[in-house]
Amino acid sequence: MKHCKSILALTMQIMLIIKISTLSAATYYVDTQNGNDSYSGTSQIQPWQTLSKVNGTTFQAGDSILFKADDVWTGRLYPGGSGSPGAPIVIDIYGTGSKAIIDGNGSNDGTIYLYNQAYWEISNLEITNDAEIEADRVGVRILAANYGVVNHIHLKNLFIHDIKGIVGSTMEAKNTGGINIRIDNDATVSTRFNDILIENCVISSCDGSGISNIANTSDYPGTGKWDERKYTNYIIRNNSINDISKNAMILRMADASCLVEYNVCWDTANRAGSGNTIFSRSCLGTVFQFNEGFLNRSSESIDGSLYDADIKSPGCVFQYSYSHDNNHGLFWSISDLADTGIVVRYNISQNDKGRIFRFNSQSGEHRIYNNTIYIPSHLSPVIIRESTSSEQPSNYYYYNNIIYNLSTSASYVFGGSHYNRIFENNCFYGNHPSNEPYDPKKVTANPLFEGPGSGGQGIHSVDGYKLKPGSPCIDAGRIVADNGGRDYFGNPLYNEAPDIGAHEYYEPSLTLDPDQINSPIPAAFQLKQNYPNPFNLSTTIGFQIPEVAHVRLDIYDLRGQLVRSLVDEMKPAGAHQIKWNGKNSDGNIVASGVFFYRIVVQAQHQLFTDTGKMVLVL
């Protein structure tokens, strides 16, 4: 009984905090057709009309600014004020219809712009800024200078398109385009960003970059002033980025709390001549995963791959991603001699045309393992290309990769004796160039894929690279420490000899999901409220899907940091339930507080996402 009272007391405290915030906050409505700036703006029957009115207002924590759906505003949106923890300022839409449109009409800088402002959530807007002549234009720019920590900037469900930034390779050009987050000056006050979320956005037809951020990158990660400038809890998730003149994403100054996942990027580097699709710069331990990149159109001999570990990227991990039909390949590296612990694992490359693995400079250490590379007969890529000009010692370890090479003209280009490269337990099948790497445990037999070359669009379209029973790659790999715990397809890894390639084979078995027994096929996707809520150590989360789909269900804390992944696998149609025991991914019980559970369902023709809130009380 005493325990129940403590749960009730905490629940009432949370409700009281929310109620107090609600009482002091206001909701403002903006409507070009029926509004008037002399109105109060605080009701749908007396809305404001112009961006000037919004820009001239300093908003308070918990306020909401709602633009009429289907309406169009021309100019720049630059509202004042900052929110506070638990009470961000929200920009969104009201009414029925399409996203409200903010058209920058060629104005320089950001069509949506914040300067030294924190705790903002901006959602469901269409943003454009076209012009005849290129200039410093961005769809959304978040700028800070001599401020301290800028917390909680969330950009969700935005459609950003036709931004006439700058085509080229200069720093100025790279910081134009779709979204740019930037530290301009920290000479008097250390300044950095924390809790940045860019999620479910569509970014299309931009000159410059799709998403970029910037800070002073002079210090090596973990040294000097890097910790004072680093980005923390910066998440880029579930975005679609296409028709970009150079890079889809540039991530700078990010630490291990940052994450880039479930993004789809195509038709990149199509006007600037070169540019890797996603690259890191001055990052420490950042993870890039479950991304798809295709049709990188780099026309030059440099750049043009899905991933690039650029200068100063120690400990960065590139995993579980799908690269295909790019003018270069899966991975490009122009890292620093001090960069160690760079990992490229459990990725799939299909029909990449140029340098599939490119090492453009010296490096401390790269570990490249359990990747699957498919090369059709009509292409002539360089499978591994090392710099022939660098003379610094560089260390590369290639384990458990499959090179499925049907081309008679594919090749390797290796550097000099200063390269320390080790190949072990790789499968080289098909054609064998004369300088194919020596591997004392090489497999050359057919790996027996389910359907090589059959990958389409989507990270779940590559089942053809699963191993068939009897594959010579099964249990033929080398044990790799800290291997991530899963293969490309979500199968768990174990402490015995792994398979070669991106798939860990399991004997097929007949299983029956208990929650499918006598369960009718639902008509729609749905994420249900957990129960009980609040809860103590055990709660049940239910969801339903009307067709076979890949389901990911994750738990996040208030900072947006991943606590634990509960589901990450294909699920049959029907109703499902999963329990959470209040533990994080390390098996430790988390502290009392508010948590969010988020579902991402990738069906054949639909992406469904939803989020719920729950309270854990210990």
* Three-state SS letters, 551-594: EEEEEECCCCCEEEEEEEEEECCEEEEEEECCECCCCCECCCEE
Q: How many CB atoms lie within 10 A of CB 98?
A: 12
Check pLDDT > 70 for residue 58.
yes
| Distance in angstroms (rounded) separating the CA atoms of residues 209 and 265 | 12
Q: What's the CA gap between 499 and 474, in Å, rounded?
A: 5
**Residue 556 contacts residue 576 (beta carbons within 8 Å):** no
Contact at 8 Å (CB) between 107 and 136?
no
Q: Considering only 192-201, 309-318, 444-453, 525-534, which range has the smallest mean pLDDT?
A: 525-534
What letter would DSSP give residue 227? H
| Residue 288 predicted with pLDDT over 90 | yes
Q: Give kind and range of the element (H or E) at residue 424.
A: strand 419-424
pLDDT band, very low/low/confident/very high, at 4 (cuts 50, 70, 90): very low
Q: What is the mean pLDDT of residues 303-313?
A: 94
CA 356/CA 336 separation, integer angstroms: 20
- From residue 216, give the alpha-carbon distance in Å to each of 83, 154, 183, 308: 26, 23, 8, 20
Q: For residue 214, which amino acid is it?
A: I
pLDDT in tens, 475-497: 999 999 999 999 999 998 877 88
Three-class DSSP category at 172: helix
Distance, in Å, from the CA atom of 273 to the CA atom of 553, rounded to the nearest integer, reads 39
* 244/357 Cα distance (integer angstroms): 23
Q: Percent of the chain having pLDDT more than 90? A: 73
pLDDT of residue 586: 82
Joined tokens for residue 201: 């956005």
Contact between residue 330 and residue 323 where contact means Cβ atoms under 8 Å apart: yes
Q: What is the structure's pLDDT at 520?
A: 65
Tell me how crowded residue 65 is: count the other CB atoms within 10 A of its CB. Answer: 23
Enumerate the β-bridge partners of residue 594: 615
Cβ–Cβ < 8 Å for 175, 206 = no
Instruction: Please state the rounded mean pLDDT for residues 164-180.
Output: 94
Burial (CB count <10 Å: 0-12, 13-18, 19+), residue 586: exposed
What is the reported pTM? 0.81
346 close to 488: Cβ distance less than 8 angstroms: yes
Classify strands 192-199 and 232-237 as parallel, antiparallel or unpaired: parallel
With cut-offs at 50, 70 and 90, classify the pLDDT of residue 508: low
pLDDT, tens digit, 9 for 90 and up, residues 548-589: 889 999 998 877 788 999 998 888 888 899 999 999 888 888
d(CA 77, CA 120): 13
Token couple for 406 = 């049907």
Q: Strand runs (DSSP E) across 116-207, as ranges? A: 120-123, 125-129, 137-145, 149-156, 159-163, 177-185, 192-199, 202-206
Contact at 8 Å (CB) between 235 and 193? no
Cα–Cα distance, 86 to 594 (Å, whole number): 11
Task: Tell me what percent of the residues of the chain surpass a pLDDT of 70.
Answer: 94
Instruction: Let me know: does 299 contact 321? Beta carbons within 8 Å.
Output: no
Residue 108 is encoded by which pair of tokens?
A: 């320089």
CB 310, CB 340: distance < 8 Å: no
> Measured between alpha carbons, how far is 404 from 350 in angstroms, rounded to an integer?
10
Tokens for 563, please give them.
């606590």
Sequence letter at residue 68? K
Mean pLDDT (the chain) is: 91
What per-residue confidence (pLDDT) applies to 415? 86
Burial class from Cβ neighbours inside 10 Å (0-12, 13-18, 19+) for residue 1 reads exposed
Residue 103 one-letter amino acid: D
Mean pLDDT for 171-196 is: 95
Asked whether 280 and 258 are in contact (CB, 8 A), the reply is no
